[in-house]
Amino acid sequence: MELHDSTESVKLFLRCPLGDVSRGVELVGHAQAAFQEVSAKIAQGTQFVGEIAASNREQTRGITHIGQAIRQIESLTRRNVTTAQQTADGASTMTSQVANTLLKPTNASSSSRYRRVFATWMSLRRWWV
């Protein structure tokens, strides 16, 4: 009987740890599933960060292109201002030359012709400048 009691004691002793081991295996399975879910979420977050970085690079390129376009517009505007100033200076010089020519007529018919040319020039100059 003593042997039988010992056998029963050993069986009880083994059943407890085996139950605990089964429960432990189950908990490890749940932990593994949770870690896989966390890992998937991290991968998704990494993908989002990559997409944001790509969008940021694209936006930076766009802003760079806009800056270049603005610099080109400013350069063209400066050149246009210079050209307009040179045109105005040339028109003023021509006006002075025409006026000087009219003040020194060689005969009456050329004087009236110069006056008509001068009047036409002045009307055009008002429109142009």
C-beta contacts of 35-40 below 8 A and 24+ residues apart = none
Q: Which range scores top for mean pLDDT: 28-32, 46-50, 106-110, 120-124?
A: 46-50
* pTM for this prediction: 0.49
Percent of the chain with pLDDT over 70: 65
Q: Residue 105 CB: number of other CB atoms within 10 A?
A: 14
Per residue in 56-113, pLDDT (tens digit) is 999 999 999 999 999 999 999 999 999 999 988 888 888 777 777 666 655 555 566 6
Torsion on CA atoms 99, 101, 102, 107, rounded to nearest 10? 180
Task: Please check whether residue 98 is in contact with residue 114, taking contact to mean a CB–CB distance below 8 angstroms.
Answer: yes
